[in-house]
Amino acid sequence: MTASISDILLHWYDAHARDLPWRVPPGAALPDDPAWPYRVWLSEVMLQQTTVAAVKPYFAKFIATWPTVEALAAARDDDVMAAWAGLGYYSRARNLVKCARVVAAQGGFPSTEAELRQLPGLGDYTAAAIAAIAFRQRAVVVDANVERVVARLFAIAEPLPAARKAIRAATDTITPASRAGDFAQAMMDLGAHICTSRAPRCMLCPLRQDCAGHASGEPERLPVKPAKKAVPERRGTAYWITRADGAEVWLVTRPASGMLGGMRALPDDGWSAQSDGSAQPPLEGQWRQLGAVRHSFTHAHLTLAVAALETGSGTPGDGQWWPVSRIGEAGLATLFAKAARLALAD
C-alpha cells in the first residue's frame, strides 16, 4: 500500500497545489535567493495555529518591511511586535526576533533538521518543515493537517495525544526520499481542503482507495480527540486614560514574559478575575464605565470592562502618551484594540 502513496499524492499536488507567496511551484528548482529560507521560516512561524488567509497580509507586510533575516534581526522589538499585532500567539513574535538575531549572527540558516531545532522558537514540526521545504532535505513533517490525514489513512484509533508517536511513524513510512518538501505541502493541502475535520470530501481524495478510514465508512471519527476541558472564565478591567483635551491616550508596554508580552496595551488590573470590583484603578478620579469587551484565548475566556478617565496631570506609572488619532498604528493586541474601539465609540 505505502509504496505508491507518495507518487499518487505528488501527482495530485502537481495539478492542485495552492499558489502561496512563500512557495515555489511543484517540482520547480529552489530559488537562487539567499532570502529563500527566511521566507519559508517566516511563513511557517506565522502559520502555527493560524489560517493561511490570516497570514497572507502579515507575511506581505513583514517581507516588505524586513526583506531579509538580517533586516529583521536589526529591527526594534517594539516595531516587530506592533507589526505582529492582531495575528495572536505573541510569543511567536518574540521568538521570531530572537531567532533572527541568532541566524544573522551565524551568517544564515542551518540546513539540517537537527541544527534548525536548536534555534529559538523552532520545535520539531517547524524544523522539519524548513529542512524539507527550504533545503530539500528528507524530513518527516507532521502538522495538524498531516496528523488528520495520516490517522485516517492508517486508521490509527488511539486517542490523541498518545497517537502522535504512531502517526509520526506512519508518516515516516510514506515520506519519499526526493521531493520531501512538495510531499509535506501536498499533505497539508490535502488536509486543508479535502481531508477536512468535518465532512471530508473523500470522493475528491486521491488516496481514498488506500485509506482505511474511508473504507471504515466513518473517516470523520479520526483522529480520536480527548474530551475538551471546560475553559475558565476570567474578568478584568482596562483603563482608557486621556488628557483633558482627549487628544492623547496613555499606553503601556506589557512585560516581556507572560500574556501578550512585549505588546503595547491599555493599562489594566492584571485580569484578576475579581468579580466584586475591589481592584483599584491606577489613578483617582471620576471613572466612567463604558461597557465591556469579550475575548477568547486558548486557556480562558476573558470579559474586560473598560473604564475611562480624563486627567489634567499625573500618569499611572511607566508608559507613554499616544495620539488618539493614530491609535491604529500603536500595534495593540486584538483584546486591547477591541477595548479602544469601545472607548472611541463612546
C-alpha 95/C-alpha 112 separation (Å) is 20
Catalytic one among 44, 70, 113, 147? 44
Contact of 97 with 82, CB cutoff 8 Å: no
C-alpha 38/C-alpha 99 separation (Å) is 11
Q: Which three cell numbers stand for residue 112?
A: 539540517
C-alpha 149/C-alpha 9 separation (Å) is 12
Contact of 140 with 175, CB cutoff 8 Å: yes
- Specify the amino acid at residue 51: T
N- to C-terminal Cα separation, the chain: 64
Q: Write the DSSP string, 131-191.
A: HHHHH--------HHHHHHHHHHTT--SPTTTTHHHHHHHHHHH--SSSHHHHHHHHHHHH
Q: How far is CA 9 from the centre of its chain?
A: 27
Residue 198, SS3 per DSSP: coil
Q: Write the DSSP string, 72-88.
A: HHTS-HHHHHHHHTTS-
Q: What is the bridge-based pairing of β-strands 233-243 and 301-311?
A: parallel
Element (H, E) at 192: helix 180-193
Known catalytic residue at 248: no
Cα 148–Cα 117–Cα 193 angle in degrees, nearest 5: 25
Catalytic residue numbers, as ranges = 44
